[in-house]
Amino acid sequence: MRIKKLFDSTIRVKKHTKFYVALFLIALFFIAGFVHNNNIAYIAMFFIFSILFVSMIMGRVYIKKAEVFIPDIKIFANKEANITFSSPYLVDIAPKKIKFSKRGYQEGEFFIKSDYPIGIATFYKKVKKRFLVYPELKGVSLKEYFGKGEDFEKLKEYEGESMKYIHWPSVAKGDIKAKKFSSGENKKSVFYYDSINGDKEMKISQLALWAYEAFRDNIEFQIVLPSVIIDSKEGFDEVFKKLALY
């Protein structure tokens, strides 16, 4: 039963040149021992065979027990992220970069690899890890969308303001909004899901971009979704977790 587990499908083996050289030497010493009835040749053959056999078994046992720790990292949809890992074992991991096309919880597959003990073969074991993928940062920046020169605070009902304050995307939807700006230090911007054109993913990506830029520029904000309000005071990770899972 243990032997069967040792040779399960989760472990792959790539044999190196050293492995085939060892096989060649085993065959060569066998022929020499058989033709010349030479016991030394047989001893050399069994010695090399023993090393080869034990090394292959040890390599499988080692990779079977090997574990790696892959920490949680910030991953955005459609953007490559570098993977770092730690392990008490002499192993490497591939791939080093991952990329997901969708937000939310996604499963990543990796291969632990090791040349232990003497490098005659590389042993691979598949491992899986679930990541929380943040929405893609996509859309128009805060300054481009809401205007330059003043700090955008929120959208409000149009009350006859100058045309430069009209929020034209809302006009296209038949619901005229005006842009409200604030220059105070304690300003709080409000981003409305319903004020953005496009499908659900486009809206979430746009909100994610604004949230990212607001965190970067130390702007307090709220995101108003149809069923929930997200506040920047909750912190970067919590805000983006809620956007990722919405």
Q: Could you state, in order of their start, the residue ranges of all structural domains in the chain?
A: 1-134, 142-245
Model confidence pLDDT, tens digit, residues 178-205: 656 555 445 688 999 998 999 999 999 9
Residue 96 phi/psi, 5-degree rounding, is -90, -15
Asked if pLDDT for residue 80 goes beyond 60, the answer is: yes
| Strand boundaries in the chain, DSSP class E | 11-15, 75-76, 81-82, 92-94, 97-98, 104-114, 121-134, 151-157, 166-167, 177-182, 188-192, 220-224, 229-231
Provide the pLDDT for residue 173: 59
Tens of pLDDT, residues 129-171: 999 999 999 999 988 876 654 555 556 565 555 554 555 565 5
